[in-house]
């Protein structure tokens, strides 16, 4: 059955790869992000390949804007089957005692509160229909802290706990809840983390073949296509030469 899949942060990296893979899977897409023009271009690309796509422009930190955008969906798009909570970011790699207050606020507001907002707005409909799937993009960073990861790692540890909590809270329904925990994925992530320092960003992926957004999107589509009685609860996806958040063998 083709599903309605809503993806946050669909303008780049893992979110964009998910948009393309779910479209290939025959699903209908609600793509959300902050950049209207980029969303429109992606919509055109996917429509040209036969997909049905609508876009919603809002910042996941803005609860009212998120609510308004969802309320404005045409009736035939309201019954969202899959929510991919992907929008997120890391900012900085300073020691915890030297971090930037604003960076901390942005990460917490986006990675934790933004994910909670989308969950709170969309999951009640899933529970009511006794059908749905929430795929949260966590991280290996949520399994254990690494040097300079402090607040980012804490936000992804929060994603792990919130995903587990939600799974408990919907266990009496047929709604499924998944935490995908990627390791190093080459996207715009490190550019954002280092505030646009492209050289520093590219060093993150030196000497190792990193994952791609497609690698993560493949797992998301797999989890969503699993038979109804199968709940892919959590998946850690690492590059072959990465063993944990802090063990990366570069050649």
Cβ-closest position to ligand 8X3:
139
User: Which one of ligand 8X3, ligand NDP, none is in contact with 87 (Cβ closer than 5 to 8 A by kind)?
Assistant: ligand NDP
**Distance in angstroms (rounded) separating the CA atoms of residues 11 and 127:** 28
Q: Given candidates 141, 157, 166, 221, which one binds ligand 8X3 under the rule CB under 6 A?
A: 141
Compute the least distance from the CB of residue 249 to ligand NDP, in Å.
Answer: 17
User: Which one of ligand NDP, ligand 8X3, none is in contact with 179 (Cβ closer than 5 to 8 A by kind)?
Assistant: none
Q: Is-catalytic flag, 146?
A: no
Residue 180 neighbours by CB under 8 Å, 6+ apart: 135, 136, 137, 138, 216, 219, 220, 223, 234, 235, 237
Compare residues 51 and 141 and give the one whose CB is closer to ligand NDP. Answer: 141
Q: Is 139 in the site for ligand 8X3 (CB under 6 A)?
A: yes
Compute the least distance from the CB of residue 127 to ligand NDP, in Å.
Answer: 24
Compute the least distance from the CB of residue 204 to ligand NDP, in Å.
Answer: 8
Q: Is 245 in the site for ligand 8X3 (CB under 6 A)?
A: yes
Listed residue (247, 248, 246, 225) closest to 1, CA to CA:
225
User: Which one of ligand NDP, ligand 8X3, none is in contact with 12 (Cβ closer than 5 to 8 A by kind)?
Assistant: ligand NDP
User: Which one of ligand 8X3, ligand NDP, none is in contact with 80 (Cβ closer than 5 to 8 A by kind)?
Assistant: none
Buried b (16+ CB within 10 A) or exposed e, 68-105: ebbeebeeebeebbbbbbbbbbbbbbeeeeebeeebbe
What separation, in Å, do the N-terminal and C-terminal C-alpha atoms of the chain show?
44
Number of separate helices (H) and strands (E) present in the chain: 9, 7
Q: Which long-range contacts (CB under 8 A, 24 or more apart) does 149-152 make?
A: 149/90, 149/93, 149/245, 150/95, 150/96, 150/99, 151/96, 151/99, 151/103, 151/104, 151/107, 151/108, 152/90, 152/91, 152/107, 152/111, 152/193
Compute the least distance from the CB of residue 38 to ligand NDP, in Å.
Answer: 7
Q: Is 140 in the site for ligand 8X3 (CB under 6 A)?
A: yes
User: Which one of ligand 8X3, ligand NDP, none is in contact with 245 (Cβ closer than 5 to 8 A by kind)?
Assistant: ligand 8X3
Q: Is 99 in the site for ligand 8X3 (CB under 6 A)?
A: no
Compute the least distance from the CB of residue 148 to ligand 8X3, in Å.
Answer: 10
Give catalytic residues, as residue numbers.
152
Q: Which residues of the shown chain bind ligand 8X3 in the complex (CB under 6 A)?
A: 139-141, 149, 183-184, 245
């Amino acid at each position: 059955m083709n599903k309605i899949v809503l993806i946050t942060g669909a303008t780049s990296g893992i979110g964009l790869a998910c948009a393309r893979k779910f479209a290939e899977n025959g699903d209908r897409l609600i793509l959300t992000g902050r950049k209207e023009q980029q969303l429109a271009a992606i919509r055109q690309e996917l429509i040209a390949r036969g997909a049905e796509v609508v876009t919603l422009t809002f910042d996941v930190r803005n609860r009212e804007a998120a609510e308004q955008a969802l309320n404005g969906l045409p009736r035939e798009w309201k019954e969202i089957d899959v929510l991919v909570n992907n929008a997120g970011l890391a900012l900085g790699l300073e020691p915890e005692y030297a971090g930037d207050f604003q960076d901390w606020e942005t990460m917490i507001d986006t990675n934790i509160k933004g994910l909670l907002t989308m969950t709170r707005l969309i999951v009640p409909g899933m529970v009511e229909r006794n059908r749905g799937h929430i795929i949260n993009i966590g991280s290996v960073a949520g399994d254990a802290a690494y040097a300079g990861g402090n607040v980012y790692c804490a936000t992804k540890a929060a994603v792990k706990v919130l995903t587990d909590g939600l799974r408990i809270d919907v266990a009496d329904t047929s709604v499924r809840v998944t935490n995908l925990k990627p390791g190093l994925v080459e996207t715009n992530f490190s550019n954002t983390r280092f505030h646009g320092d492209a050289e520093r960003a590219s060093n993150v992926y030196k000497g190792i073949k990193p994952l791609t957004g497609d690698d993560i999107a493949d797992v998301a589509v797999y989890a969503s296509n699993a038979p109804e009685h199968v709940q892919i609860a959590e998946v850690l996806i690492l590059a072959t030469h990465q063993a944990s958040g802090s063990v990366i063998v570069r050649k």
